[in-house]
Amino acid sequence: MRKAVVRIILVGIVLFLLSFLFKKADQYTSTDAYCNSCHVHEHAHTSWMQSPHNNSCEQTVHCIDCHLPPKGQGFYKEKVKAGLRDLYAFYTKDSTDFNWQQKSQVDFAKHHTFEQSCIQCHPKLFPSDLSENGELAHWHYQQNKEEMHCIQCHMNIGHGTDKKASHNITLFTKQHKKDTIYTQAANSIGLTAFIETIPGSDIAFKMLPVQGEANNTNDSAAIQSFFIGEIEVSWDEYLLFLSETESEGRTEHNQVDGISGATPPWGNPDQGWGMGRRPAITMTHHAATVYCQWLSLKTGKDYRLPTEAEWEYAASKAIEKEGLNSQLTNTNKTNTLEPNAVEADGIGARHLFGNVKEFCSDAFGQSTKEFVIKGGSFKSDIKTLSPSFRESTQHDNWLKTDPQIPKSIWWYSDCNDVGFRVVLSYHSNEN
Ligand code: HEC
Ligand code: HEC
Ligand code: HEC
Ligand code: HEC
């Protein structure tokens, strides 16, 4: 009898000690210090320090507050799962295999950032001090809850300096280092490569000649000679366009030299990959068309989007000799690349295939709002690419998570691999 009592007491003590240890272990593994013992890379730690969730005077929001669900809603299950995943990866995988950039993208981050936790701390979707933009956006969220996640609009709240989900206006006020300011556009005479210079800026880009189908000049369907951009329109050029035509409104009322102004984008239109000579992306087909009009006004030439036939013709010439190989193509699945990352093709162009899909002027089929896009992107499989490979824009899908009402006519919210290249007809009998 006495033995039994002693045994029960001993078991009790052991259980108490175990639960104490478990509690300690749980506490320890819930601290920011524990998470940061591995997550020292810039994104996770420093950026969290700068985010509104750490700088607020009221409360510091800890790693596990966002990266685990609330207690009672699967906290321990997710904690064990994530803990094992992190430990296993830490001790077995090569750290260069971790793709942090991918884990930062909405589609992926949805799986490791828990919406219930956002809602636990932010139960009111319509607080009294919510701005008008916020009201529209949250109303939209409420209608599309199943498809949406808070972080689609609040990407930077965990690890960013951008304080609010608002238009990225700083993009437009960025000052260019102006070393040489071009005073006039290029004077192109023959069917040879030339450097176009945008007057009033330090921006220049190269145009390449494409000899048309000389034998069939009477055939109206024959391709006439033209020039095509060496590279896709880059952020350098596109930002100049944006800064000169900027408008805060959503409609087309703001006219600059007859060109209606683009609104600033939400968030980072470059997806954080960098700007400069990388292709500008995520603009709508409409925006690309307006860019061509603007460029034409600036240079006194007739820049436009290529027709599908022209694009295909140039692309066939480009790979006539060497074929399409990985030196000419970016299908890395993760991001866009700078032009020099690949070799020039048979006509001297770069990234006709892969990198970003390129808009053509042709409508897709009978559609009034979809257009032909050519060349595939960094997401494509190189085996599927060829001059004749064609895809269609997906207007509605690409604007699904745009919080604006009406939806943006300037930026696709849900497509990060589309851009464009400009062309120019060659008129041999002029000049
Ligand atoms: C032992 C080191 C270690 C610790 C401690 C650690 N992590 Fe991780 N974590 C990793 C590694 C390694 C990966 C990458 C896993 C992979 O790619 O397979 C990772 C991935 C992640 C991811 C991305 C999730 C995904 O689906 O890939 C998040 C979010 C994360 N950790 C949050 C945390 C939080 C919050 C804590 C603190 C509770 C924490 N980590 C503690 C090593 C650690
Ligand atoms: C307010 C919510 C919030 C808090 C607090 C938070 N995160 Fe995150 N975290 C996010 C979101 C949203 C993303 C995806 C977007 C991004 O990467 O910025 C993310 C992405 C990550 C990733 C994957 C992407 C990458 O670049 O590494 C890791 C790892 C991570 N967080 C770790 C941490 C750690 C460690 C802490 C604590 C120091 C922390 N997080 C605190 C919301 C949060
Ligand atoms: C532990 C509680 C907590 C969690 C979890 C949390 N937040 Fe917050 N959030 C706060 C606090 C506190 C503030 C600062 C309030 C203030 O400064 O007025 C804040 C601020 C914000 C702001 C305003 C930022 C600004 O610049 O004013 C947004 C947007 C936001 N949170 C969204 C989210 C989203 C999305 C998630 C889920 C990924 C999330 N929060 C998770 C507590 C939390
Ligand atoms: C469709 C985009 C969108 C979605 C989805 C969204 N928000 Fe917002 N949110 C906004 C906008 C826009 C604002 C206003 C920002 C401003 O005016 O600076 C805002 C503001 C906020 C604020 C700041 C409120 C204040 O008083 O200033 C918080 C907190 C917040 N959102 C939390 C959330 C949470 C939690 C979720 C998910 C349940 C969510 N949001 C989903 C776009 C969105």
Report the separation in Å between the CA atom of 419 and the middle of ligand 1, taken as the mean of its atom positions.
34
pLDDT on residue 93: 80
Which ligand 2 atom minimizes the distance to the CA of 157? 1
Report the separation in Å between the CA atom of 85 and the middle of ligand 3, taken as the mean of its atom positions.
27
pLDDT on residue 390: 97
Tokens describing residue 310: 């022209």
φ/ψ of residue 16, rounded to 5: -60, -45
Interacting residues of 328 by C-beta distance below 8 A, sequence separation 6+: 318, 319, 322, 342, 343, 345, 350, 351, 352, 353, 354
8 Å CB contact between 196 and 202: no
Closest Cα to atom 43 of ligand 3 = 121
Tokens describing residue 16: 């108490």
Q: Which residues line ligand 4 (CB under 6 A)?
A: 118-119, 122, 127, 129-131, 133-134, 137-138, 140-141, 148, 150, 152-154, 164-166, 403
Interacting residues of 429 by C-beta distance below 8 A, sequence separation 6+: none
pLDDT on residue 363: 96
Q: Count Cβ atoms below 10 Å from residue 45 Cβ, excluding itself.
A: 16
pLDDT on residue 145: 83
Q: Which residues of the chain have pLDDT under 70?
A: 1, 39-52, 54-59, 160-179, 215-218, 247-261, 266-267, 403, 405, 429-431
8 Å CB contact between 303 and 359: no
pLDDT on residue 143: 82
Q: Which residues line ligand 3 (CB under 6 A)?
A: 52-53, 56, 58-59, 61, 65-66, 113, 117-118, 121-122, 150-151, 154, 157, 163-164
Distance CA 55, CA 52 (A): 5
pLDDT on residue 170: 57
8 Å CB contact between 83 and 64: no
- Of 421, 122, 402, nearest to 263 (Cα)? 402
pLDDT on residue 430: 46
